[in-house]
Amino acid sequence: MVVTVIALELLFVLLIVCLLCRAPYGVLAHQPLGGGRRSDWREAQERAEQMLRDVLAEDDYRQLCRRGYLEVPSRARPRRVYRIPRHQGQVKVYEGGVPIMALCVQPVDPVPDGDVVMMHKLMIEGNEEEYLRIANRFEPTLYGFIAIRPRGRV
């Protein structure tokens, strides 16, 4: 009986460890697999980081490094700010400082994290309506953001 309980507890702990090790939002799916390509991927990440340093304004790059996100104000909606995460994930949308939704837009082919930050920034600044049209939306709840709205609403 005791052995069974211990075995079940061990299984439970293993299950928790497996769940914690899972990458959020399919990050692993964005990395090319295979040992030989890991160094290529690392080089790509470094190149993308250098591109961010070159293209972003100094304050923006500093904000990205210190806070872990880059804020891009909406051009169409004056009180709205898009918060782009440093690493791939949902873009949080705030209006008057209040979170109103999260958006998920991903490149069809895998690109490094720095390129994804740039992709979000360019699309929000230069093509906001199209960006909102493409994005899958998630609304804030007490338990985090959940997908409840169909596409097409702004």
Partner 1 sequence: MSKLRVLSARGDTVLEWDERKLQTGDPEALAAVREAERIFEEQRGRGATAFKVESDKPAQKIDTFDRTAEQIIMVPRVAGG
Binding site for partner 1 (CB under 8 A): 25-26, 32, 40, 43-48, 51, 55, 57, 75, 104-112, 114-115, 118-119, 121-123, 125-127, 134-136, 151
Q: Which is nearer to partner 1, 4 or 39 (CB)?
A: 39
Q: What are phi and psi of 18, to 5 degrees?
A: -60, -45
Amino acid letter for position 138:
F
Using an 8 Å Cβ cutoff, are 60 and 122 in contact? no
* Measured distance between the N- and C-terminal CA atoms of the chain, rounded to whole angstroms: 58
Q: Which is nearer to partner 1, 92 or 121 (CB)?
A: 121
Q: Which is nearer to partner 1, 6 or 38 (CB)?
A: 38
Using an 8 Å Cβ cutoff, are 85 and 91 in contact? yes
Q: How far is the CB of 46 from partner 1 (least distance, A)?
A: 7
Q: How far is the CB of 95 from partner 1 (least distance, A)?
A: 19
Q: Which is nearer to partner 1, 100 or 111 (CB)?
A: 111
Q: With CA atoms as reference, report the closest residue to 59 among 49, 68, 70.
A: 70
The token pair at 73 is 């104000």
